[in-house]
Structure 1
Amino acid sequence: MANAHRRRHTMERVKISGVWLSEERTVRTGIVDAFHRLLTEDSEWKADIGGVNLNRISQQEANILELPFMEEEVHSALRDMNGDKAPGLDGFTGAFWQFCWEFVKEEVMEMFKEFHEHNTFLKSLNATFLVLIPKKGGAEELGDFRPISLLGGLYKLLAKVLANRIKNVIGGVISSDQNAFVSGRQILDASLIANEVIDSWKKEGKKGLICKLDIEKAYDSVNWQFLMRVMEKMGFGTKWREWIWSCISTAKFSVLVNGEPAGFFPSSKGLGKATLYPHICLSWEWRCRVLFFGGLWKGAASWDVEYRGVGGRL
C-alpha cells in the first residue's frame, strides 16, 4: 500500500511558466529555481512610510516583549504545540520535546538565554524543508501544489513563544476591521460585514466603492526592510526587531521532490509559515492597506466618478 501511495503521488512531470519538464533532473532543477525566484527580493523600490501615522504600542508593552524568557513560559508554549506534526530537518517532532522536557530543558533554556542576550541562534535551527502537496487530483502545474514548510522543533518552539508574546499587544495597533489572527476576532466576520454593507447600500440606494485586492502569496512577498520600518513606526523596541530579523533572515530552504531534498538556498523576502509569522504579517499588511487607501483617497478628490452600481467590476 505504501508503494502504491508513493507511485500515485510521484511527480513525474510538471509545468512551470508554461513549459513542461519531464526528466527527473530538469524537474528537480526547475522546481528549485522557481522557489528560489519566489523567495528572492528583486525590487529596489522602497515605500515611503515617513508621512503616515500608525497606532503604536506603549513603552511598557515594548519592554514586556523583550523580557528574559522564563522556563514556565517556554514549557507552556511547548505543551500547546501539536506534537504529531511532521518533523523538519532535525527529525524530531514536537512530541519528542514534550516527552523529554525534563531531560532537555536546561539545553533548551540555554538556547533561549543566548537568543535573548545576543539576538541570534544556530542558523541550522532555521533550515526548512518545503514539501509540495497537490491542491487537487491530477495536479500538473507548479501552482497546483501547495508548499508546506517543515520546520525544526526548536525553531517552532521559539516562534511559538514569540507569537504568544506579540499576540497580547498586536490587537492594539491593528485596525478594527482586520479580522484574522487577532485574539477575539474571526476571519468570517469580514465576509459578514461586507455582505451587510452591500445590503445596506442596495436598500438605501447609496453609492459606494468596493475594492477586492488579490494578496495571493502574501507571506512570500513581504519585504523585510519594509517590515522592520513598519515595526519601528509601531513602537516595537530594537531588541524585538533584531529578534524578528534573526528569525526571517536565517531561513534556508530545501525542496522535497518525490521525497528527496533538492537545492539548499537562502531567501531574501517573505515570512514562511511559522506560528509567529501570521501575527508579524498583520503589521505589514495593515501598513500596505494604509499606503494604498491613503493614496486612493487623496487621488479621489480629483476624480470625476461614474457610479457603476454594486454589481459592476473595477
Structure 2
Amino acid sequence: MTRDLLIESNALVRMMKKLKYLKEKIRMWNKLNKEKSHKSKRSLLAELADCDAIIDKGEGENNVINRRTEVVNLLQEVKKKNSLEAAQKWAIEGDENSKYYHGVINKKRNRLSIRGTWIDSPSLVKSEFLSHFKNRFEQPNSNRLHMNMHFSNTLSSVQVADLECQVSKEEIKKTVWDCGIDKSPGPDGFTFGFYHRPISLIGSMYKIISKILANRLVVVLGGLVNEIQSTFVADKQILDGPFILNELVQWCKKKKKQSLVFKVDFEKAYDSVRWDHLDDIMRKFGFGEKWCMWIQSCLRFSKGSVIVNGSLAEEFQIYKGLKQGDLLSPFLFILVMESLHISFQRVVDVVLDCLNRASGLRINMTKRKLLGISVEDDKVKQAAAKIGCNTLKTPFSYLGSKVGGCMSRIQSWNETIERMACRLSKWKLKTLLIGGSGEFSTTSVRKMIDVFMLPEVSSKTRWIKAVPIKVNVHAWKVKLDGLPTRLNISRRGIDIESILCPMCGKAVESTSHIFFTCQMSKEILRKISRWWDIDYMEISSYEEWLDWILNMRLSVKSKLLFEGVCYVLWWHVWSFRNKTIFGSQIPSKAMIFDDVVSRSFYWCRYRCKVSFSWIEWLKKPHLISL
C-alpha cells in the first residue's frame, strides 16, 4: 500500500487509494460496533422483561422499580445513539398520509415491479443495462472541430491566482459546515453529521473537494458569462427567462410587431459534454493550468455502475458528460453554454452544427418549433418548412410556465388547473380552494371539516401539532363517542357476548368508562399528573377533562403539550384494550405509562421547533413550551 502511494504522483489518486485501504477497516469497525450495540440492547430488553414479570406478579419492590427505571433510561440512550436524520424524518412524516410516506411505498412498489418482457437470466439483464449506459458514456471520436473564436471576458492574473491558491483549513471547515447534516454524500449512507470528525471524511471527500472548487468558481463566474444568463449566477433567478419571454410576446402582440420565436432544446445536455471541449473553453476564458488539471482530474477518474434489481453490475469507465448532482456541474455547463452565446454572431445553422461536433450537444429535432407573432400563418408555415420544424401557437410551455397568452384571463389558467386536478387525489382536491395558496395543510382540512362537513357546535375541533394525525383523529373520536366500544356496537344491533369492560370487568364498556373512569386509566392519569407536577382530579367524561385542562395553572403552550400527552395516553389505552381482546397474549399494564412517556417524547421532540432533552422531559415537562 505504501509503495503504491510513493510511486503514484497524482495527489488525488493517492488519496483515492488511501480511502480504498481504509474502506475495509471502516466496515469491520462498523460491524463490530453494531454487534456490540445489538448484544447490549438484547441484554437490556431481557432484564426489562424480568422486571416487568416481577411487577405483574405484585412482588415489585422499590429496588426492582428503580432498576427498571435505569434500564429504560439505558434503552433510551441506545436508541438515541443509533438514531439518524432518517429516523427523525420518519417520526415527522413516515406514519402519515404525506408525500414522504407515499414516496417510500411507491419506491418499494416500483422496485418490485417488472414491466415488459420477462427475462430469466440475471446476467443477461445486467449486460443489457451495462451495454446501454456504457455506450451512453463511451469515449467520443477524437476528430472534432475546435471553436476558434475570441472570448472578450477573461480572467485576470489575480483571479487565476485566487482560484489556484492553497486550500486553507478555514476553507475546508466552512465547506463541511455549510453542508446539511441530514445529507448523505455517498453510497455508504453516513450523513455529514457523522463526518464532522476528521477521521471519517471518507464518503464525503469528493463532495468537499467539489464544493471548494464550486465556491471558488462562483466568485468569478458572473464576470465571464453574459448578462442574459439567468441560472446559477448571483443576483439572478431562473424564472427571469419565462418572465422576459412572456413580456416580449405580449409587447409584440400589443405593438403588432412581426416576430419569429425559435424554441430549441438540447438532447441529454449534461451527459453529452465533451471533456476536451470543456478544457478548451476554460483555457479561452483564461483559467490557469493548475485549475484545468483539477477539473479534468475530477472528471476523468469517474466510474459508473448500474444497480439492477438490487445487485451492482460491472463498473465501466466514463469518458464524457458532467455528473448529475455534482456541485461543479451547473457552473461548468454554464461555461460550455457561454460559448454558444458567443457563436450566435455567426449563421445559426453553421453554429449549431459546429457545436454538435465540438461538444456533443445536439438539438432535439422533435422539440424545436417556430412561433409567429403578428405574422400570417402561411408565412410562418413556409419559414418552418425551410428550417425543418413544426409551428408553435400561443400559449405554449416554456420551462414549466405558460407564456404567450394573456395570463390575466381566467381561461389562460384552465390547462394549469386541469393538470393540477389530474395530479391530485380526489380527497385532496376537495380540500384545496382556487383562491388559496395551493398547498395542503392540516389547518385547511380542519377548517373545511368544521365549516362544511360537521354540524355547528359550540366547541371547535381541537388539534395538537405535536402528535401525529392518527392520534388527533383518535382523540376527536373520543370526543364524539365515535369509537367501536362494546356499548356502541350493541346499540347498532350487533349481538356480542358481553358489554363489560375487558380491562376491569366491572362496568359497561363506554367511551367515558375506558378513558376516564376505568381504574387502569385513572391510575395512569394519576401518574401523569404526578410526573407533570399538577393536581389530579377525578374525571368522568370528556367535558370534565376539557374543563380540567382549561383551568390548569400552566401556560397556553404547556397546556397544549399536556393535552397532546393525554391524546397519546388514550391512544395506548385503546391499543391495550384491543390487544387484550384480540391478541394472543395479555399485554403488560406496567408498560403503558412508560410507553406514553417515551412515545410522547419521540413525537413531540421531532415534531416541535423547540429542542429539549430526554432528561428535561422526564424531570420538568411542564417547563417546556412549544
TM bin (shorter chain): 0.7 to 0.9
Distance in 2 of aligned mates of 1:6 and 1:195: 38
The SS at the match of 1:88 is: coil
Tell me by how many angstroms 1:87 deviates. 4.3
Are 2:372 and 1:309 aligned?
A: yes
Q: 1:94 to 1:215 in 2, by over 3 A?
A: farther
Tell me by how many angstroms 1:209 deviates. 3.0
Count of matched residue positions in the alignment of Structure 1 and Structure 2 = 256
Q: 1:308 to 1:179 in 2, by over 3 A?
A: closer
- The aligned residue for residue 231 of structure 1 is 282
Distance in 1 of aligned mates of 2:218 and 2:107: 40
The SS at the match of 1:36 is: helix
- The aligned residue for residue 187 of structure 1 is 238
Tell me by how many angstroms 1:157 deviates. 0.8
Which stretch of the first structure deviates more once superposed, 228-237 or 205-214? 205-214
Q: 1:297 to 1:59 in 2, by over 3 A?
A: farther
Identity %: 32
Are 2:301 and 1:250 aligned?
A: yes
Q: 1:206 to 1:77 in 2, by over 3 A?
A: same
Are 2:192 and 1:88 aligned?
A: no
Listed as ranges, the gaps of 5+ residues in structure 2 are: 1-93, 95-100, 352-369, 381-390, 393-626
Tell me by how many angstroms 1:94 deviates. 2.0
Q: 1:280 aligns with which of 319, 322, 332?
A: 332
Contact 1:62 1:237 in 2 (8 A): yes
Are 2:61 and 1:9 aligned?
A: no
Distance in 2 of aligned mates of 1:163 and 1:12: 39
Q: Which amino acid aligns with 2:171?
A: E
Distance in 1 of aligned mates of 2:131 and 2:340: 28
Tell me by how many angstroms 1:44 deviates. 4.1
Q: How does 1:161-176 map to 2 (within 5 A)?
A: 161-176=212-227
Q: How does 1:77-116 map to 2 (within 5 A)?
A: 77-89=175-187, 91-98=189-196, 100-101=197-198, 103=199
What is the CA deviation profile of residues 2-25 of structure 1, one whole-angstrom value per residue up to 9, with x for unaligned ones?
99777512265466xxxx564433
The SS at the match of 1:67 is: coil
Q: Which amino acid aligns with 2:306?
A: V
What is the CA deviation profile of residues 58-112 of structure 1, one whole-angstrom value per residue up to 9, with x for unaligned ones?
22111100010001111111111123233424554322222x14x56xxx6xxxx
Distance in 1 of aligned mates of 2:190 and 2:229: 35
Distance in 1 of aligned mates of 2:350 and 2:304: 42
Q: 1:177 aligns with which of 200, 225, 228?
A: 228
Tell me by how many angstroms 1:158 deviates. 0.6
- The aligned residue for residue 210 of structure 1 is 261
Q: Which amino acid aligns with 2:210?
A: A
Tell me by how many angstroms 1:220 deviates. 0.7
- The aligned residue for residue 59 of structure 1 is 157
What is the CA deviation profile of residues 107-149 of structure 1, one whole-angstrom value per residue up to 9, with x for unaligned ones?
x6xxxxxxxxxxxxxxxx8xxxxxxxxxxxxxxxxxxxxxxxx
Contact 1:14 1:22 in 2 (8 A): no
Q: 1:6 to 1:28 in 2, by over 3 A?
A: farther
Tell me by how many angstroms 1:244 deviates. 0.1
Q: 1:288 to 1:233 in 2, by over 3 A?
A: same
Q: 1:22 to 1:207 in 2, by over 3 A?
A: farther
Q: 1:262 aligns with which of 306, 313, 331?
A: 313
Distance in 2 of aligned mates of 1:257 and 1:188: 37
Distance in 1 of aligned mates of 2:166 and 2:115: 48
Contact 1:54 1:233 in 2 (8 A): no
Q: 2:347 aligns with which of 287, 292, 295?
A: 295
Q: 2:137 aligns with which of 22, 39, 43?
A: 39
Tell me by how many angstroms 1:251 deviates. 0.5
- The aligned residue for residue 601 of structure 2 is none
Q: 1:282 to 1:167 in 2, by over 3 A?
A: same
Listed as ranges, the gaps of 5+ residues in structure 1 are: 109-124, 126-151, 300-306
What is the CA deviation profile of residues 2-60 of structure 1, one whole-angstrom value per residue up to 9, with x for unaligned ones?
99777512265466xxxx56443333222222111111233445233213434212221
Contact 2:261 2:372 in 1 (8 A): no
Distance in 1 of aligned mates of 2:261 and 2:141: 29
Distance in 2 of aligned mates of 1:89 and 1:298: 44
Q: Which amino acid aligns with 1:284?
A: V
Q: Which amino acid aligns with 1:80?
A: D
Name the larger-Rg structure: 2
Q: 1:173 to 1:44 in 2, by over 3 A?
A: same
The SS at the match of 1:227 is: helix
Q: 2:173 aligns with which of 75, 82, 94?
A: 75
Q: Which amino acid aligns with 1:277?
A: S
Distance in 2 of aligned mates of 1:4 and 1:190: 37
Q: Which has the higher strand share?
A: 1
Distance in 2 of aligned mates of 1:257 and 1:162: 33
Give the number of the structure with larger relative contact order, counting CA–CA contacts within 8 Å between residues 6 or more apart: 1
Q: 1:90 to 1:50 in 2, by over 3 A?
A: same
The alignment's C-alpha RMSD in Å is 2.9
The SS at the match of 2:322 is: coil
Q: Which amino acid aligns with 2:333?
A: C
Q: 1:180 to 1:32 in 2, by over 3 A?
A: same
Q: Which amino acid aligns with 2:111?
A: T
Distance in 2 of aligned mates of 1:210 and 1:293: 17
Distance in 1 of aligned mates of 2:108 and 2:149: 56
